Amino acid sequence: MDGIIFSIEEFAINDGPGIRTTVFLKGCPLRCAWCHNPEGWRSEPEKMLKKGREELCGYRISAVDLSKRLSRDRDLFRESGGGVTFTGGEPLQQAPFLCEVMDDLEGIHKAVETSGYAPEEAFRSVLERADCTLFDIKLVDSALHRQYTGVGNEPILRNLKTLIASGKPFVARIPLIPGVNDTRENMEATASLLQGAEGLQRVELLRYNRVTGAKYPMVGLTYRPPFDENQAPVVHDVFTGRGMKLLVL
Ligand code: SF4
Distance between Cα 78 and ligand 1 center (Å): 30
Q: Is 194 in the pocket of ligand 1 (CB under 6 A)?
A: no
User: Three-state SS for 112?
Assistant: strand
Q: Is 38 in the pocket of ligand 1 (CB under 6 A)?
A: no
Global confidence as pTM:
0.96
Closest atom, ligand 1, to C-alpha of 28: 4
pLDDT for 86-113, tens place per residue? 999 999 999 999 999 999 999 999 999 9
- Mean pLDDT, range 203-208, rounded to an integer: 96
Tell me the pLDDT of the chain averaged across its residues.
96
pLDDT for 37-86, tens place per residue? 999 999 999 999 988 899 999 999 999 999 999 999 999 999 999 999 99
Q: Which residue ranges form the domains of the chain, and what is each CATH number? A: 2-248 (3.20.20.70)
> Is the pLDDT at 13 greater than 90, yes or no?
no
Q: Measured between alpha carbons, how far is residue 28 from residues 114, 137, 209 in Å?
A: 10, 15, 20
Q: Is 30 in the pocket of ligand 1 (CB under 6 A)?
A: yes
Report the pLDDT value the prediction gives residue 210, as an integer from 0 to 100.
84
Q: Is 27 in the pocket of ligand 1 (CB under 6 A)?
A: no
Closest CA to 5 of 126, 83, 89, 68: 89
